[in-house]
């Protein structure tokens, strides 16, 4: 990306009288709109859910998948998902377990179940058409305030306040001099975003995605590219010498966690062609035994945890390497079943694990 040129810059903001210096004047807001939207038209990524012919359903699927997941990981799964289920009705007609299977390695797989449930609700309540009204969107399973606003804006061109981490970071740095947003959204942030929102529906929708893109590509959390930023000349954080954040986010642990164990178990079940023997799965997860020779990759008979990749890097080997104790493994299985991500059939030592119907 080239450095910001004269056409990309905007003068420092002048606060609106009577606002305590925290809100920009209408003239400055207009200058921000012109600058950031102009930058977006020149530098935005070519993403399929932004194309002119994208459907509201395609946008909705992208918003579910992009929650806490990078674009590069979402793209291939999104493309396959839309090829397989191009409409809400198509997904609604499929078993929820197929949604979990197709979700693959995106993480947080309960999102797949929520998207499946949302597809059913859209089909049953809205005739298969993703609603444009935020209240109707909020009534769908798995749709919170951010997702409702994002779908209304990016799928239907509605004027809504969209506040994700990227937008919060840009606003916080440029207008408040804060390195990173606070862990929880504040009333002041929402008020600022509402004041900055253009009056025109289409311009407001573009403004939202433009600020989001600026945060994703330039005003990043760890390595901001201030020399490339069209707002560098008026950024309060940059003018203050880029002070350290008051609130340093802590990443979620992964190794040795229940999340890792659940993900490894689900990967085995997801890749299986047939139900998996529960006791064989427990033995594998505890590192007691791992039988890769009987894996059913071709749909034939299976001697143990069939339907998995028999290579050393496959799901069975990954699960076996974790070496958790039996009680923890059974707790993970019970949790997956309680969340609807797997189904447990049978009783005693004949119990089987499979994806839900």
Burial 28-52 (b: 16+ CB within 10 A, else e): bbebbbebbbebbeebbeebebeee
State the catalytic residue, choosing from 7, 63, 80, 213. Answer: 63
Q: 1-55+130-251 has which CATH code?
A: 1.10.1670.10
For 305, other C-beta atoms within 10 Å of its C-beta total 33
Q: What is the pTM of this model?
A: 0.87
Contact 285, 324 (CB under 8 A): yes
Residues 317 and 169: their CA atoms lie apart, in Å, by: 40
The one-digit pLDDT tens for each residue of the chain (357 residues) are: 444 443 454 445 544 433 334 588 889 999 999 999 999 999 999 999 999 999 999 999 999 999 999 999 999 999 999 999 999 999 999 999 999 999 999 999 999 999 999 999 999 999 999 999 999 999 999 999 999 999 999 999 999 999 999 999 999 999 999 999 999 999 999 999 999 999 999 999 999 999 999 999 999 999 999 999 999 999 999 999 999 998 877 777 888 899 999 999 999 999 988 899 999 999 999 987 765 444 443 333 333 444 334 343 489 889 999 989 999 999 999 999 999 999 999 987 889 999 999
Contact 307, 274 (CB under 8 A): yes
Name residue, tokens 């998902």: 81
- 3-state DSSP call for residue 103? helix
DSSP structural state of residue 11: P
Enumerate the domain spans of the chain: 1-55+130-251, 258-354
246 carries an active-site annotation: no
Residues 29 and 300: their CA atoms lie apart, in Å, by: 64
pLDDT tens digits for range 12-42:
554 443 333 458 888 999 999 999 999 999 9
Count helices and strands in the chain by DSSP H and E runs: 16, 3
pLDDT tens digits for range 255-293:
889 999 999 999 999 998 889 999 999 999 998 776 544
**Can you give the pLDDT at residue 1?**
40
* DSSP class per residue in 130-174: ---SHHHHHTSTT--HHHHHHHHHHHH--------HHHHHHHHHH
DSSP structural state of residue 348: G
The partner residues of 352 in beta bridges, in order of sequence, read: 277, 345
């Amino acid at each position: 990306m080239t450095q910001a040129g004269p056409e990309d810059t905007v003068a420092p903001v002048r606060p609106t009288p009577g606002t305590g210096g925290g809100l920009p004047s209408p003239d400055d807001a207009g200058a921000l709109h012109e600058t950031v939207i102009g930058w977006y038209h020149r530098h935005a990524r070519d993403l399929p859910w932004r194309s002119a012919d994208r459907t509201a359903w395609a946008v909705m699927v992208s918003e579910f998948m992009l929650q806490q997941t990078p674009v590069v990981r979402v793209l291939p799964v999104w493309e396959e998902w839309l090829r397989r289920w191009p409409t809400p009705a198509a997904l609604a007609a499929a078993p929820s377990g197929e949604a979990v299977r197709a979700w693959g390695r995106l993480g947080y797989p309960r999102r797949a179940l929520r998207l499946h449930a949302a597809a059913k609700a859209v089909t049953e309540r809205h005739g298969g058409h993703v609603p444009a009204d935020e209240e109707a969107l909020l009534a769908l399973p798995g749709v919170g305030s951010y997702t409702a606003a994002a779908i209304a804006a990016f799928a239907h061109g509605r004027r809504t306040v969209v506040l994700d981490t990227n937008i919060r970071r840009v606003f916080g740095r440029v207008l408040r001099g804060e390195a990173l947003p606070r862990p929880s959204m504040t009333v002041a942030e929402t008020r600022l975003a509402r004041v900055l929102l253009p009056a025109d529906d289409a311009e407001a929708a573009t403004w939202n995605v433009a600020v989001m893109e600026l945060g994703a590509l330039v005003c990043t959390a760890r390595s901001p590219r201030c020399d490339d930023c069209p707002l560098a000349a008026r950024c309060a954080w940059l003018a203050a010498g880029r002070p350290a954040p008051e609130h340093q986010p802590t990443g979620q642990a992964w190794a040795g966690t229940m999340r890792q164990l659940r993900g490894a178990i689900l990967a085995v079940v997801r890749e299986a062609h047939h139900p998996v023997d529960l006791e064989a799965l427990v033995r594998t997860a505890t590192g007691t035994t791992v039988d890769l020779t009987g894996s059913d990759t071709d749909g034939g008979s299976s001697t143990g945890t069939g339907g998995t990749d028999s290579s050393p890097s496959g799901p069975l080997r990954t699960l076996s390497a974790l070496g958790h104790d039996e009680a923890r493994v059974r707790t993970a299985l019970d949790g997956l079943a309680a969340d609807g991500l797997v189904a447990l059939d049978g009783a005693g030592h004949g119990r089987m694990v499979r994806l839900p119907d």
